[in-house]
Copies of this chain bind each other. A is one copy, B any other.
Amino acid sequence: MYELYYWSGIQGRGEFVRLVLEDIGQPYVDIGRDKGDDAVAKALDGVLAPYAFAPPVLRAGDLVVAQTALITRWLGEHHGLAPHDERGRLAAATIALTIADLTAEAHDTHHPITVEEAYEKQKASARERARAFRQHRIPKFLGYLERILEKTGNYLVGTVSYADLAAFQVVEGLTYAFPHTMAKQEIPKLRALRDRIAQRPRITAYLTSDRRLTFNESGIFRHYPELEAA
């Protein structure tokens, strides 16, 4: 039985892991939601120490894996949601890490100065950073994914993998946070991939369950209308 350690009230980075756990159909305990955030914080100094810096963290028996892209890779490779050959495995890992970078940049649009203070204390800088993110970074990252799909077809690395689930989630998150910007992106193949993932039976079941939290303004992908104003 896998244990996922992540904060209870948000999708956040943990959602990339939840999607993989749901898709591979493995039972897991979502520790934050089951036992509260205190249990997560306590575990970081206890059973998850010393290698886990921050949630999400996955515990699989004696193994402790942290860092979103590493957790999803490990799960994907152990449960048939990753390529089998080394080239494909490295490609999927590269994509997942690049999506993790995009996610970190999405986070910094509302926290460009410090995670120690609330968004409201850094709104002026957030507005500037969000503008650059919308104008330059979203097109650059999503164009990268689109160009891969132009070469590979239905999935980012030939056969479906955890990297496709990550692409689904980042499109969902960015669409929540920056709907007008996202509406303008010319990414037909990436949108088709998003739909293809949403239609996977276990993903559909998950997305319509109460296990799928809604996006909110405590998570990584936040919708602040002022961050999308020209």
Contacts and interface: CB of A to CB of B under 8 A. Distances in A.
A51 B158 CA distance: 12
A108 to B, nearest CB: 7
Interface residues of A, number: 45
The secondary structure that dominates the A interface is helix
Contacts of A148: 50-51
Interface string A54-91: 00000000111111011000100000000000110011
Interface string A139-150: 001001001101
Contacts of A132: 113-117
A97 interface: yes
A112 interface: yes
Interface in A140-196: 141, 144, 147-148, 150-152
Copies of this protein in the complex = 2
Scoring A62, A97, A116 by chain B CB atoms within 10 A of each residue's CB, the highest score goes to: A97
Contacts of A52: 94
Contacts of A144: 50, 53
B63 A90 contact: yes
B112 A67 contact: no
Contact of A67 (B50, B65, B86, B94): B94
A148 B87 CA distance: 32
A128 interface: yes
Interface of A: 49-53, 62-67, 69-70, 74, 86-87, 90-91, 93-95, 97-98, 101, 104, 108, 112-117, 122, 125, 128-129, 132, 136, 141, 144, 147-148, 150-152
